[in-house]
């Protein structure tokens, strides 16, 4: 199995410390998300061999479509995993936007479908459906989008939440953007099985991830489909295990207890099953955060969404990644604080180990090249 690695684009800002908020709550860092800084992160990701960057969606960050379009101009091979929410725009417009960006970026678009699990945030966007209805709408939305991408015939569809008549794209995307999709509830899994190309889950212990993937895999087989699988997780990787855990301790020491209380109170109102599972890994406690070998739940104390990190030496982190890959995980969507520096720690420390084990290949533009030194003395001179 060849593994794919993706980095994260913090369009709300970045920091050397853990930032409180996200996923429905305000969030900002002491490194503002200027276009210049985001270009630095995208450049670090591209230089270190990451396939794409995940551009998040929500009221707590910048718009993913516009940000990705701007950064596509300053990158060459890096792809953009653009997160968006069904229901906030029409499926025809979403299919058209993805097609436009795919064409102008020369095939560098992937999409991450986010149904939304925070009711107050959805209502702020004008969406008043309940959780089950939102997933039903997501399925109808993706049905229309896929039809528009894959057929030249006019698409007419009338569902409970989505209705289009004689919808046609003048220019279909080529290639069709792969669809990444996450969700842990019983309402989410059938949608993933029917419409996703890659099912994403947050970083939990191996047994929990295995059980979830087996559930989705079975639902996909029932529909005659086969998916790939991805893991969204943070990383803290250093030359030695001691150095990595010292960095995790530093991040923990920098957390204001008031922020833990505030964020956990907000997240308690989340309708996201995945968020509930993340919160249960630590239960707001700071003394039992290594929940499995090299798996640290400290990020989730103050951050909504993905709340765990792989912490350890480069070899230890590589070993844990290999363990997840044995469950069928082939995509790893990673992040770290701060995002520029951590991209290099992972790219220069972990990826060479996986390359030696023939589990990862660098992009062609990063292949080693011989350096000509015409003025250097040769062995025979």
The answer to whether residue 381 scores a pLDDT higher than 60 is no
Per DSSP, the three-state class of 248 is helix
Cross-strand bridge partners of residue 4 = 331
Percent of the chain's residues with pLDDT above 70: 95
The answer to whether residue 309 scores a pLDDT higher than 90 is yes
Rg over CA atoms, the chain: 21
* DSSP output for 86-136: TTSS-HHHHHHHHHHHHHHTTS-EEEEE-----HHHHHHTT----HHHHHH
Domain harbouring 116, CATH code: 3.20.20.30
**320 within a domain of the structure (yes/no):** no
Supply the pLDDT for residue 11: 97
**164 within a domain of the structure (yes/no):** yes
**315 within a domain of the structure (yes/no):** no
The answer to whether residue 376 scores a pLDDT higher than 60 is no
Banded pLDDT at 364 (limits 50, 70, 90): low
What's the mean per-residue pLDDT of the chain? 93
**241 within a domain of the structure (yes/no):** no
- Residue 297 has φ and ψ, to the nearest 5°, of -95, 15
Q: What is the distance between the alpha carbons of residues 255 and 300, in angstroms, rounded to a whole number?
A: 11
Supply the pLDDT for residue 79: 98
Q: What is the distance between the alpha carbons of residues 29 and 16, in angstroms, rounded to a whole number?
A: 9
**8 within a domain of the structure (yes/no):** yes
**304 within a domain of the structure (yes/no):** no
**260 within a domain of the structure (yes/no):** no
* DSSP output for 11-60: TT-B-SSPPPB-SSS----SB---HHHHHHHHHHHHHTT-SEEEE--STT
Supply the pLDDT for residue 379: 35
The answer to whether residue 366 scores a pLDDT higher than 70 is no
Residue numbers of the domain that contains 80: 4-234+325-363
Number of domains in the chain: 1
Give Cβ neighbours of residue 96 (< 8 Å, ≥ 6 apart): 169
Percent of the chain's residues with pLDDT above 90: 88
Stretch 65-79: mean pLDDT:
97
Q: Which of 48-52, 261-265, 367-371 has the highest mean pLDDT?
A: 48-52
Q: Which residues of 111-148 are buried (b: 16+ CB within 10 A; e: fewer)?
A: bbbbbbbbbebbeeeebebebeebbbbbbbbbbbbbbb
Stretch 177-203: mean pLDDT:
97
Q: Is the dihedral of CA 144, 145, 149, 154 positive or negative?
A: positive
User: CA dihedral defined by 295, 180, 10, 206, rounded to 10 degrees?
Assistant: 0
**288 within a domain of the structure (yes/no):** no
* DSSP output for 173-208: -SSPPPEEEE--STTHHHHHHHH-SEEEEE---HHH
Stretch 189-209: mean pLDDT:
98
Cross-strand bridge partners of residue 82 = 55, 111
| Model confidence pLDDT, tens digit, residues 146-156 | 999 999 999 99
**Residue 146 is encoded by which pair of tokens?**
């896929």
Supply the pLDDT for residue 26: 77
Banded pLDDT at 348 (limits 50, 70, 90): very high
Supply the pLDDT for residue 333: 98
Q: What is the distance between the alpha carbons of residues 161 and 142, in angstroms, rounded to a whole number?
A: 12
Supply the pLDDT for residue 370: 36
Q: What is the distance between the alpha carbons of residues 230 and 15, in angstroms, rounded to a whole number?
A: 26
| Model confidence pLDDT, tens digit, residues 221-266 | 999 999 999 999 999 999 999 999 999 999 999 999 999 999 999 9
């Amino acid at each position: 199995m060849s593994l794919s690695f993706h980095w994260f684009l913090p369009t709300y800002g970045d920091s050397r410390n853990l930032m409180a908020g996200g996923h429905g709550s305000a969030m900002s860092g002491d490194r503002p998300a200027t276009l210049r800084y985001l270009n630095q992160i995208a450049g670090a990701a591209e230089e270190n061999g990451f396939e794409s960057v995940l551009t998040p969606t929500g009221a707590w960050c910048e718009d993913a479509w516009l940000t990705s379009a701007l950064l596509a101009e300053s990158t060459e091979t890096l792809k953009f995993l653009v997160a968006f929410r069904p229901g906030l725009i029409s499926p025809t417009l979403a299919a058209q936007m993805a097609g436009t960006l795919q064409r102008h970026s020369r095939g560098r678009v992937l999409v991450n479908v986010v149904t939304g699990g925070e009711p107050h945030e959805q209502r702020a966007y004008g969406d008043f459906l309940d959780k089950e209805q939102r997933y039903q709408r997501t399925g109808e939305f993706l049905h229309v989008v896929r039809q528009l991408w894959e057929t030249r015939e006019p698409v007419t569809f009338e569902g409970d939440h989505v209705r289009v008549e004689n919808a046609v794209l003048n220019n279909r995307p080529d290639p069709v953007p792969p669809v990444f999709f996450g969700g842990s509830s019983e309402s989410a899994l059938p949608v993933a099985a029917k419409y996703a190309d890659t099912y994403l889950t947050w970083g939990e212990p191996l047994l929990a991830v295995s059980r979830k993937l087996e559930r989705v895999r079975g639902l996909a087989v029932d529909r005659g489909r086969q998916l790939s699988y991805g893991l969204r997780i943070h990383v803290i990787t250093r030359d030695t295990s001691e150095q990595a855990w010292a960095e995790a301790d530093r991040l923990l020491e920098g957390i204001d207890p008031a922020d833990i209380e505030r964020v956990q109170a907000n997240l308690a109102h989340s309708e996201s099953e995945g968020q509930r599972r993340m919160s249960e890994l630590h239960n707001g406690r700071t003394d039992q955060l290594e929940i499995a070998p090299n798996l640290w739940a400290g990020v989730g104390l103050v951050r909504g969404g993905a709340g765990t990190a792989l912490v350890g030496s480069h070899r230890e982190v590589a070993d844990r990644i290999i363990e997840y890959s044995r469950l069928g995980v082939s995509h790893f969507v990673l992040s770290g604080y701060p995002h520029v520096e951590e991209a290099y720690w992972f790219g220069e420390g972990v990826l060479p180990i996986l390359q030696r084990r023939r589990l990862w290949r660098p992009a062609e533009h990063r292949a080693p090249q011989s350096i000509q030194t015409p003025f250097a003395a040769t062995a025979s001179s």
